[in-house]
Amino acid sequence: MMFPPRPVSWSNALCAITIAALAAVVLWPGLHGFWGRDDFGQLAFVRLLDSPWPLFLHDHYFAPGSVFRPLGFASMWLCERWFGRDYAANAAVDLALHISVSLALFGLMRRTRIPRMVALPCAALFALHPAAVGTALWWSARFDLLAALFVLLSLNAAFAYRSGGPALTLVTALAAALAAALSKEIGLVAIAAQSLVWLRWAWAEPAHRARALRAVSLSWLCALIFLGWRWVVLGTLSSSLTVMVPLGDAMRRGLQAWVIQAPGYLTFWPRLDVLQRVTLGSCCAAAVVATGIVAIRQRGRIAELTNGDMVLSGVCLLLLPVVLQAPVAAFAAPIGAQISAVETAMQSRLYYLGIAGAAIVLAALASACWNASATRLRIACVLPPMLSVLALASISRDGAQAFAQRSLEISSVARAAATAVATMPLPSSPCHVMFLDVQPPPEWGTYVAMDAVIKALSPDLDRVKHCWFHANYGTLLNLMAAPVSPADAAPYLPLEVDGRPLPWRTLGGVVLAYLRPPESVGTPANRRGCCSCAIATVALTMSARMLPAAILLCDWNETGPEPEM
């Protein structure tokens, strides 16, 4: 099938504006939220980072040897330079990226000759899907937004090249695929999807076989370049995220978890109320009935009119991320009414690209029904998806409001800690600040270090970047301004793995320092050696309770006397 480019029409532009406007209205309440779990560490990291270029040459993730996402972190660095700590402005960039992904999806459908009245509701279903909206609301899911955007742009260029496009379209397809992988490893899905498009081209059109196979070879060369680049930087083809569990077991558990949890995230059924379930269930039933009538009347024409390339591409986007993310999916929380809107948004990122793939498959099948139907049946085929769009808009807007409300609630302890440190006298030399009796909210777990919180939220980064911030719960990483050495961290000691100190990494002016606390840190026995110490009591507000936190400041000197308290 040839898909020559079509001139830009006002109808397509109007559809694109409609999709963008709907997504903006639905996600807008989420801009009033606040930073969440991984956001603190990543915001602190990019604030301390002098330049984004070392990201492309050094292992930059907090867990060494885990992931390689330089383009994603570079985009965060750029946004922080533009907007600073302003959450709403940074979240607005994610909103714009999600809208861009939705428009890229619509553009791909139109390029492959999916009728406008089919492409519009299918792309809007993705744009307004609660799991997709949740992904766009969480700042740390920026990697997924960028990867999905470049995957869809790569597919669009791949179809353009298949349709006789110039060599520039091939270069665009390969460059976009590489950018997708540099945003997040699931971007490698672009290589598989475009290769299938070109392999089917080689099979169907022998006259273009050499051209198609050359494109496939270059595509896989692009994948090898990325994997080799990642290997050189990380020192491994695998990931340290699977160190604690054998890779085979992690994959098995992840695939099982995905099979169990994916239906919930793809339909969002567990978080819907009765009216919402009835509405969406009725729309799905009506769509199935209309499709069945068309299939019975037209019989074999449906298969002939189905765009096999789009179906295969959609299936790739739906299923391949499962394999690439299986070790992470093994520890993901299942969707349900018992978890908060913030937790739901954080887990939804695992299904973002898959939802786009499902929308592509749906559009390809609906397009076949549309082309095989008379006018009245066409209306019956597209009416249920359009009604579903309206239902999802209401559901997702409620979800965005719940996300904003909950993220503000659980951020109270972080904001109070930042305010407390901002009012305390800190020495210009390295110092230790200990927060005691801090109870992190459930969405944080122990993933959020108070060190990251302070350095992410402090209005004056120069004032805190040389200090070590600790808490009463176990976090192992401090982000420090270079230069810094293990001697500066005393009495804390370098973290050891298998009896060997875990190497500290320095890139772009920031040091990733891994520490283990001394025994009974914060007790009078461990204050011996503080040559100048002060104790202050600060109230950290979390929800409706006041949590006392004692803060210990000290310039460590092993020969100093024990201070009088």
* pLDDT tens-place string over residues 5-63: 555 578 889 999 999 999 999 999 999 999 998 999 999 999 999 999 999 999 999 88
The encoded tokens of residue 120 equal 């519009």
Query: How far is 176 from 147, CA to CA, in rounded Å?
Result: 9
Give residue 544's pLDDT: 28
Q: Any idea which residue has 């096999």 for tokens?
A: 308
Give residue 219's pLDDT: 96
Q: What is the pLDDT of residues 55-99, one digit of tens each?
A: 999 999 988 888 999 999 999 999 999 999 999 999 999 999 999
pLDDT at 231 over 80: yes
326 within 8 A of 250, measured Cβ to Cβ: yes
Q: What is the pLDDT of residues 286-340, one digit of tens each?
A: 888 877 777 777 666 666 667 889 999 999 999 999 888 877 777 777 887 788 9
- Phi, psi for 60 (deg, rounded to 5): -115, -5
Residue 355 CB neighbours (<10 A):
24
Give residue 526's pLDDT: 42
Lowest-confidence pick of 152-166, 337-351, 370-384, 504-518: 370-384
Q: What is the pLDDT of residues 505-529, one digit of tens each?
A: 999 999 999 988 776 544 443 443 3
Give residue 243's pLDDT: 56
Over residues 96-123, mean pLDDT: 94
Q: How confident is the model at residue 378 (pLDDT cuts 50, 70, 90)?
A: confident
Over residues 426-448, mean pLDDT: 84
**DSSP assignment string, 3-59:** -------HHHHHHHHHHHHHHHHHHGGGGG----HHHHHHHHHHHH-S-SGGGGTS-
pLDDT at 356 over 80: yes
Give residue 542's pLDDT: 32
pLDDT at 466 over 80: yes
Query: How far is 431 from 134, CA to CA, in rounded Å?
Result: 39
pLDDT at 357 over 90: yes
pLDDT at 548 over 50: no
Over residues 431-449, mean pLDDT: 85
The backbone region for 498, taken as left when phi is positive above 0, alpha when psi lies in -120 to 50, beta otherwise, is left
Estimate to the nearest angstrom the gap between the alpha carbon of 499 and the chain centroid.
34
Q: How confident is the model at residue 174 (pLDDT cuts 50, 70, 90)?
A: very high
Going from the C-alpha of 243 to that of each of 168, 239, 256, 449, the distances in angstroms are 42, 8, 19, 22
pLDDT at 561 over 70: no
Q: Any idea which residue has 């409620």 for tokens?
A: 398
Give residue 445's pLDDT: 78
Q: What is the pLDDT of residues 259-273, one digit of tens each?
A: 888 888 888 888 888
pLDDT at 396 over 80: yes
Query: Interior CA angle at 310 toward 304 and 315, to 5°?
Result: 115
Query: How far is 356 from 132, CA to CA, in rounded Å?
Result: 9
537 within 8 A of 548, measured Cβ to Cβ: yes
Give residue 351's pLDDT: 93
565 within 8 A of 448, measured Cβ to Cβ: no
Q: How confident is the model at residue 227 (pLDDT cuts 50, 70, 90)?
A: very high
Q: Which of residues 498 and 163 earns the better pLDDT score? A: 163
Q: How confident is the model at residue 355 (pLDDT cuts 50, 70, 90)?
A: very high
Give residue 447's pLDDT: 82
106 within 8 A of 11, measured Cβ to Cβ: no
For all residues of the chain together, what is the average pLDDT?
84
Give residue 244's pLDDT: 59
pLDDT at 550 over 50: no
**pTM score of the predicted model:** 0.90
* Torsion angle of the four alpha carbons 283, 128, 117, 7, in this order, in degrees rounded to the nearest 10: -170
**DSSP assignment string, 117-159:** HHHHHHHHHHHH-HHHHHHHHSGGGHHHHHHHHHHHHHHHHHH
Which one-letter DSSP state was computed for residue 61?
S
Over residues 142-164, mean pLDDT: 95
Over residues 145-170, mean pLDDT: 95
User: What is the separation, in whole angstroms, between the first and last Cα of the chain?
Assistant: 81
